[in-house]
């Protein structure tokens, strides 16, 4: 049996808890394993029982949060007690971070220091200070879902590195939102219309600039770069923003009106990059100690150029996968 403590109980945290309950028989049959959820926390409360929360209690808390209610249950404690609770965890517990905040870092570091395993869906601790990276990635840690949702990107790269393969280049379409916008630009749709349509369809954050700035995709690329041993920070990642910094001061509504001013510029850029039948992609390139994200024109015969606009892909060009690079592609977002 392994004790599990969940940091964060939003959409991803609830999906994980639901999967843990649903997979009880599967885990027992395939691995002779039971993952006992001993604690659940969100931004306001902690529910903790060192002997384990019942599946009925877990499902009840999922229903509460899904209905917009506050997290409540047996042995509720304020979130301010998080360090005390982590100190009480059974030996060799698994602390899972499904938050989207760097405030989780002290908890993760304390868990590591106490000998617990750490699993992250949260990119911020791994894309922050290099000291965080060193501490969190040492020993028993996993961060598969920080790059490409459930796509086996991290495990594939880990296998290549463990086998002694030399990774020369990593290319990736790491943002579904930016992949959609690139496809719309390639098809000749005005940039402003494409942005508003992406927001209407729920492809963007409430403020589309959070996607258009490329920083979320940049964090994913930085994690891959650091796995290759690049000792760089976010300030050293070259990120092409699809809007000028002068528009940062606008409200969301103002931005959605003013974004049409970028139509001509983006149309010219799309035409230049897609000339000769190339496919417009917003892609990360990790190579030669550098990490860059930008709009580019990909040859349709390449794996980056051949994917559907709705898919994510990461392509590894290595010593052993050179003429035919290794690719992981599929649905790269979702709970």
Q: Dihedrals φ, ψ of 142, to 5°?
A: -140, 145
Contact present, 199 and 210 (Cβ < 8 Å): no
The pair of structure tokens assigned to 279 is: 């496919």
Q: Which residues pair with 283 in a beta bridge?
A: 294
DSSP 190: -
> What are the angstrom distances between the C-alpha of 311 and each of 211, 274, 330?
16, 19, 5
Q: Dihedrals φ, ψ of 41, to 5°?
A: -140, 150
Q: Which residue has the tokens 């405030």?
A: 103
Whose CA is closest to 279, among 260, 292, 298, 294? 298
* Length of the chain, in residues: 335
The pair of structure tokens assigned to 290 is: 């550098």
With H, G, I as helix, E, B as strand and everything else as coil, classify residue 103: helix
Instruction: List, in order, residues 6 or more apart from 78 with CB less than 8 Å away.
Output: 44, 45, 46
Pairwise CA distance, residues 213 & 210, whole Å: 6
Per-position b or e across 54-83, b if 16+ CB within 10 A of its CB:
eeebbeebbebbeeeeebebeeeeeeeebe
Mark whether 220 is an active-site residue: yes
Whose CA is closest to 7, among 124, 147, 155, 113? 124
Considering 220, 279, 294, 303, which one is annotated as catalytic? 220
Active site residues: 220
């Amino acid at each position: 049996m392994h004790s599990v403590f969940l940091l964060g109980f939003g959409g991803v945290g609830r999906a994980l808890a639901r999967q843990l309950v649903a997979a009880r028989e599967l885990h027992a049959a395939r691995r002779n394993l039971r993952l006992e959820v001993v604690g659940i926390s969100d931004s306001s409360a902690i529910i903790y029982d060192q002997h384990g929360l019942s599946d009925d209690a877990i499902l009840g808390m999922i229903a509460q949060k899904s209905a917009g209610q506050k997290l409540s249950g047996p042995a509720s404690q304020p979130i301010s007690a998080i360090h005390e609770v982590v100190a009480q965890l059974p030996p060799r517990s698994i602390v899972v971070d499904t938050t989207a905040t760097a405030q989780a870092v002290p908890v993760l570091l304390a868990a590591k220091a106490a000998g617990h395993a750490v699993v992250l869906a949260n990119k911020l601790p791994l894309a922050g200070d290099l000291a965080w990276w060193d501490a969190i990635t040492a020993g028993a840690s996993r961060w598969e879902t920080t790059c490409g949702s459930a796509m086996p990107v991290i495990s594939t790269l880990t296998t290549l590195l463990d086998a002694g393969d030399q990774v020369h280049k990593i290319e990736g379409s790491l943002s579904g939102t930016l992949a959609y916008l690139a496809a719309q630009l390639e098809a000749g749709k005005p940039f402003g219309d494409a942005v508003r349509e992406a927001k209407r369809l729920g492809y963007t954050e409430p403020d589309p600039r959070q996607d258009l700035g490329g920083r979320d995709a940049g964090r994913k690329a930085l994690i891959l770069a650091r796995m290759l041993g690049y000792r760089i920070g976010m300030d050293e990642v070259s990120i092409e923003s699809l809007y000028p910094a002068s528009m940062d001061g606008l409200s969301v509504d103002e931005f959605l009106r003013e974004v049409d001013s970028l139509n001509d510029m983006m149309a010219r850029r799309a035409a230049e990059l897609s000339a000769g039948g190339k496919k417009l992609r917003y892609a990360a390139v990790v190579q030669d100690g550098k990490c860059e994200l930008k709009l580019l024109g990909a040859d349709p015969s390449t794996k980056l150029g051949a994917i559907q606009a709705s898919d994510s892909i990461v392509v590894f060009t290595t010593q052993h996968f050179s003429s035919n690079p290794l690719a992981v592609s599929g649905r790269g977002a979702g709970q």
